[in-house]
Amino acid sequence: MISLYRWLPGEKFGTWVDLPDLPANGCHLPDGHVWWIDLDDPSPEEEDLVFKKFLPVHPLTLEDITRSRREPDRLPHLPKVEEFPDYLFVIANPLRPDVDQVRPETDPMRCVVQLSGIVTRQVLITHHYPSLPAVATVKQFLHRHAEQAGRGPDYLFHLVLDQIVDDYAPEVDRLVTRLDEIEVQVFETPSQQLISDLVHLKRRVIALRKTLILMREVLARLIRGEFELVDAREIVYYRNVFDHLVRYTELIEGAREMVSDLMQTHLAAQSNKLNGIMKALAMVSTVILPMSLISGIYGMNFKNMPELEWPFGYYMALGLMVVVAAAALGVFYWKRWL
């Protein structure tokens, strides 16, 4: 579906138009006009209408944009920014709308999708196959603050990027909270299931870290002022998005280190638990061994054994076993092994 938001100079409100009749050349709109074209799960015909008729783009750009449709089994394209003579091409990786339902055993990069953005002097084009909450939030923002569209496509794209980055906050918080819960379980009840959960979490954290770092590099280029299509007055807003990315990247970096530490702690806890079991078994064996020796000696079938005919020999053997066991336990207690 194609949604077109038109802002005309001198008007207080923009206009949303579904399935618009787009002109043949979007690079030469009337002065002051600002258009935002959003392609939400578009058909190939709609993509051709926008990227071949309205605003022809480089074949490599079109290949990157339609990659998910052509090769649905491949992972989304990683974030990047490229400058062309007539437009600026940016790829971001927002979280999937159903990220909470992504199974941990699947590829962790499946938790993000691809959003492609094309920015010109008067036009912003966003392209994504699943419907994204970030785009819907910006559309609602324009309903309340329509005059903001007059600041240009670069400002509108900043709003989209800002919302994409902010959507990472709940996911990062959820990962950190889950790691705090696992930290308690590691010391109380270490198990194989716990180490499996840690492995899946580590893969998810590494995937998010990779995405956030690449998106941070994209924002770093946008705030350096190397692209003419990003106005100098809007750089400060992109810098704000960059600051959010830096904070989330630091949080995810801390989560990555925490996962590694918890895995080491889990292995140490299991090792300590095993050592405790082996220690208990060794103590039991040490206590029982001299008792077994005594019973073995008096279990031999030699006739010339004076204690065999003694009426109190049985009680003497039992008492000797008790004394030896008590002595062994006393030594353990004295050595503070108990």
pLDDT tens-digit map of 77-117: 889 999 898 889 999 999 887 766 666 555 556 788 889 99
Kindly state whether residue 274 falls inside one of the protein's structural domains: no
| Of 60-64, 196-200, 240-244, minimum mean pLDDT range | 196-200
Give just the sign of the alpha carbon dihedral 7, 11, 14, 18.
Answer: negative
At 255-290, the pLDDT tens digits run 888 887 777 777 777 777 777 788 788 888 888 888
Judge if 32 and 118 occupy the same domain: yes
Judge if 257 and 283 occupy the same domain: no
Q: What is the mean pLDDT of residues 195-217?
A: 85
Q: Given a cut of 80, is residue 234 above it in pLDDT?
A: yes
Q: Which residues contact 3 (CB under 8 A, 6 or more apart)?
A: 16, 17, 18, 37, 38, 40, 139
Percent of the chain with pLDDT over 70: 90
What pLDDT score does 98 carry? 74
Judge if 52 and 169 occupy the same domain: yes
Judge if 285 and 185 occupy the same domain: no
At 3-47, the pLDDT tens digits run 877 777 666 555 666 655 666 665 567 677 788 888 888 888 888
Judge if 287 and 265 occupy the same domain: no
Judge if 68 and 211 occupy the same domain: yes
Judge if 223 and 298 occupy the same domain: no
What SS3 class is residue 249?
Answer: helix
Residue 289: domain span:
279-334
Judge if 181 and 326 occupy the same domain: no
End-of-domain residue from the set 213, 243, 269: 269
Judge if 284 and 169 occupy the same domain: no
Q: Copy the structure tokens of residue 207.
A: 């995937």
Q: Copy the structure tokens of residue 334.
A: 């004295």
> What are φ and ψ of residue 123, in 5° steps?
-130, 135
Q: Given a cut of 90, is residue 306 above it in pLDDT?
A: no
Give just the sign of the alpha carbon dihedral 87, 88, 89, 95.
Answer: negative
Kindly state whether residue 104 falls inside one of the protein's structural domains: yes
Judge if 243 and 261 occupy the same domain: yes
What pLDDT score does 101 carry? 64
Q: How confident is the model at residue 229 (pLDDT cuts 50, 70, 90)?
A: confident
Number of folded domains that form the chain: 2
What pLDDT score does 118 carry? 92
* pLDDT, mean over the chain: 81
Reference 160, options 38, 21, 287; nearest CA is: 38
Judge if 100 and 171 occupy the same domain: yes
Dist. CA 47–CA 41, nearest whole Å = 10
The upper half-sphere exposure of residue 42, i.e. CA atoms within 13 Å in the direction of its Cβ, equals: 24
Q: Which residues contact 59 (CB under 8 A, 6 or more apart)?
A: none
